[in-house]
Structure 1
Amino acid sequence: MELPVVVGVDGSEGSLRAVDWAAAEAERSGLPVRLVHASLWEHYEGVRPRLGADRPSEQVFAENLVATAEERVHRITPDVKVSTDIQPEDPVTALLREAPEAALVVLGPRGHGPIRAMLLGSVSLAVAARAHCPVVVVRGDQPDRRSVHHRVVLGVGHSAGSAAAARFALREARLRGCELLAVRAWRRPAYESVTYPSADGERAGADQREADEYVDQVLGVVDDEYSDVAVGRKLVQGTAHQALLDETASADLLVVGAKRRHISVGLQLGRVNHTVLHHAACPVAVVPDLN
């Protein structure tokens, strides 16, 4: 069974961007698109969905919203199969329930209401933090969403999710026929430069080699499977979040891993993932490690 690309739609500009990105992704990968709209309006109205002239206005709105998104997918990618669903549920709960049967979940960075003023909407952040499938938050300007830079960036971190993220990033680079750039940041503790100034250059070289070896380890897990993908690497002395943000200005997609914690807690995003989800200049994929 082909797992679909699930898109959360709420009628906002951000969700329309997510629909466009998901349609292109589905076309590249040969997968269907599933459009999901979730709302708790039923509970507030005290009614269940029903057909007929007396349908609640909120239901009519939801149906029109999903139909518009479906038409948008057909217009952009006529050959992609589309299914839709309207769920009387909290959006986070509904999307997390979809995740185990999804190839990935795609969301816009913001939604309606007070969260529009935030850098990242609460639904997108919650789903990215807890879903058991890759989650893409579609950030960035139109050129970035259309994949014009021909480059996928992989953030190589310490987490156990690095191998899963590497596999996802290599697959995305192959689908696009573009380069994968693996970025690893390294830093020296401040006290080392002060305490051992004469060994500064030697220690810096050792730190850089260690970073290089870590990239080798992560990519080596999946290298044979994607030997046809051109892979570059960039080792940066500095903070990981800033190194990745700098690369997103000329990337079509940034991929980062997330390590799994106790099932009741979900995934640990960490500072780097939070930062790129809020500030990246291109779409960001958070890939969980489920092993």
Structure 2
Amino acid sequence: MELPLVVGVDGSDSSLLAVDWAVDEAARQGLPLRLVHASLWERYERVQPSFSTDRPAGRVMAQDIVASCVERTQLRHPEVKVSSDVLAADAVSTLLHAGSEAFALVTGARGRGEVAGLLLGSVSLTVAARAMCPVIVVRGEERKVRGSVGRVVVGVGDATGGTGAVRFAAREAEARGCALTAVRAWRNPVPEPGSAPAESGPGHPGLAAGAAGAPEEQVSATLDDALREVVREHPEVEVSRRAVEGPAHRVLLEASADADLIVVGALRRHGHFGLQLGRVAHALLHHSLCPVAVVPHRV
């Protein structure tokens, strides 16, 4: 049985945009959709007397939010199978638990009550930094959410950590019938006067131009290695490669301007329970011009 695509809903405009993205994704991938609303209303409202038929206001609001989101999905894609849950728990714990049995988690960039001007809501950031399944944070222009650009971009990091992200991106490109662009950033620092020449070698962060094996050639080889299997598994996807000199977070932020979705990997270290989110993913979640998918890799 296919795992569901889970989307967190709270009634905010950002959440409704996430619902639209999620139901489109469920239709593309042939997945069931599960809407989850988490609220701690039980902690803040007194228990109703046993003889009262009134429902707590918090429960009424939560159920109304979910019902309106279910209706929204059915109007947009009536063929998608939709289920919903209203849970009396905090949003982060609820979504992380739901993510243990999900194809992916989808959230908006900001929730209800977030501070005005906040770049990314705390729930979305924490879920993206801790979930063990892919997390998509829906942000950017509405046309990007609709998928009108026709391109998925994946950031290619080291060979091990980037495999899951590349596979996820290729599957997305195939489902959308669009192009896939793999981007790898590289740096060529200028050595200080009197210092030894920078070492060269595959994966070295400070490759020196003119050293044995030009850095562009080594980066190109890394891209070819990362894409070899997905090109074979998804022959119908148009794949392009881009090696760009510059800081990875800046290179990928620029790439997000011409993408419907940008995909990056994130390491999950066994036994570590804090936030596990690298600088590149963190920057994209706050500033990307299109939706961002963070794909975890456990080590």
Normalising by the residue count of structure 2, what TM-score does the alignment of the two structures yield? 0.90
After TM superposition, the runs of 4+ consecutive aligned structure 1 residues lying more than 4 A away are: 192-197
How far apart in 2 are the matches of 1:236 and 1:51?
68
Residue number among 239, 242, 246 corresponding to 1:238 in the alignment: 246
How far apart in 1 are the matches of 2:74 and 2:147?
20
Offset, 1:204: 9.9
How far apart in 2 are the matches of 1:261 and 1:230?
33
- Residue 224 of structure 1 aligns to which amino acid in structure 2? R
Counterpart in 1 of 2:152?
A: 152
Counterpart in 2 of 1:162?
A: 162
Tell whether the 8 Å contact from 2:141 to 2:289 is kept in structure 1 after alignment.
yes
Offset, 1:266: 5.5
> Which moves more between the two structures, 183-192 or 55-64?
183-192
- Residue 88 of structure 1 aligns to which amino acid in structure 2? A
2:64 aligned with 1:84, yes or no? no
SS for the counterpart of 1:19 is helix
SS for the counterpart of 1:289 is strand
Tell me: CA distance 1:204–1:142, structure 2 relative to 1, closer, same or farther (3 Å).
farther
Q: In the TM superposition, what are the counterparts of 1:49-68 in structure 2 within 5 Å?
A: 53-68=53-68
Offset, 1:100: 1.3
Q: In the TM superposition, what are the counterparts of 1:112-131 in structure 2 within 5 Å?
A: 112-131=112-131
Counterpart in 2 of 1:105?
A: 105
2:171 aligned with 1:171, yes or no? yes
Tell whether the 8 Å contact from 1:92 to 1:127 is kept in structure 2 after alignment.
yes
- Residue 228 of structure 1 aligns to which amino acid in structure 2? E
Residue by residue over 1:78-112, the C-alpha shift from the partner in whole angstroms, topping out at 9 and shown as x without a partner, is 11111000010010000000001111110000012
Offset, 1:200: 6.5
Offset, 1:214: 1.4
Counterpart in 2 of 1:226?
A: 234
- Residue 28 of structure 1 aligns to which amino acid in structure 2? R
Tell whether the 8 Å contact from 2:188 to 2:208 is kept in structure 1 after alignment.
no
- What is the aligned length? 289
Tell me: CA distance 1:52–1:76, structure 2 relative to 1, closer, same or farther (3 Å).
farther
Residue number among 257, 268, 272 corresponding to 1:260 in the alignment: 268
Normalising by the residue count of structure 1, what TM-score does the alignment of the two structures yield? 0.93
Q: In the TM superposition, what are the counterparts of 1:275-290 in structure 2 within 5 Å?
A: 275-290=283-298
How far apart in 2 are the matches of 1:62 and 1:121?
19
Counterpart in 2 of 1:47?
A: 47
Unaligned runs of 5+ in 1: none
Tell me: CA distance 1:116–1:2, structure 2 relative to 1, closer, same or farther (3 Å).
farther
Offset, 1:225: 1.5
Tell whether the 8 Å contact from 1:260 to 1:266 is kept in structure 2 after alignment.
no
> Which moves more between the two structures, 34-43 or 159-168?
159-168
Counterpart in 2 of 1:271?
A: 279
- Residue 291 of structure 2 aligns to which amino acid in structure 1? P
SS for the counterpart of 1:86 is strand
If each structure's helix is expressed as a fraction of its own residues, which one has the higher value?
A: 1
Tell me: CA distance 1:11–1:206, structure 2 relative to 1, closer, same or farther (3 Å).
same
Residue by residue over 1:12-50, the C-alpha shift from the partner in whole angstroms, topping out at 9 and shown as x without a partner, is 1100000000010000011111000001111222439x9
Tell whether the 8 Å contact from 1:187 to 1:238 is kept in structure 2 after alignment.
yes
- Residue 76 of structure 1 aligns to which amino acid in structure 2? R
Unaligned runs of 5+ in 2: 199-206
SS for the counterpart of 1:101 is coil
Tell whether the 8 Å contact from 1:261 to 1:267 is kept in structure 2 after alignment.
no
Tell me: CA distance 1:146–1:205, structure 2 relative to 1, closer, same or farther (3 Å).
farther
Tell me: CA distance 1:204–1:148, structure 2 relative to 1, closer, same or farther (3 Å).
farther
How far apart in 1 are the matches of 2:173 and 2:232?
15
Counterpart in 2 of 1:19?
A: 19
SS for the counterpart of 1:85 is strand
- Residue 19 of structure 2 aligns to which amino acid in structure 1? V
Residue by residue over 1:197-244, the C-alpha shift from the partner in whole angstroms, topping out at 9 and shown as x without a partner, is 9x9642496211121111122222433222221110111010111111
Query: What is the identity percentage for the equivalent residue pairs of Structure 1 and Structure 2?
Result: 53
Offset, 1:260: 1.5
How far apart in 2 are the matches of 1:76 and 1:173?
21
Counterpart in 2 of 1:206?
A: 214
Offset, 1:193: 8.5
How far apart in 1 are the matches of 2:10 and 2:212?
49
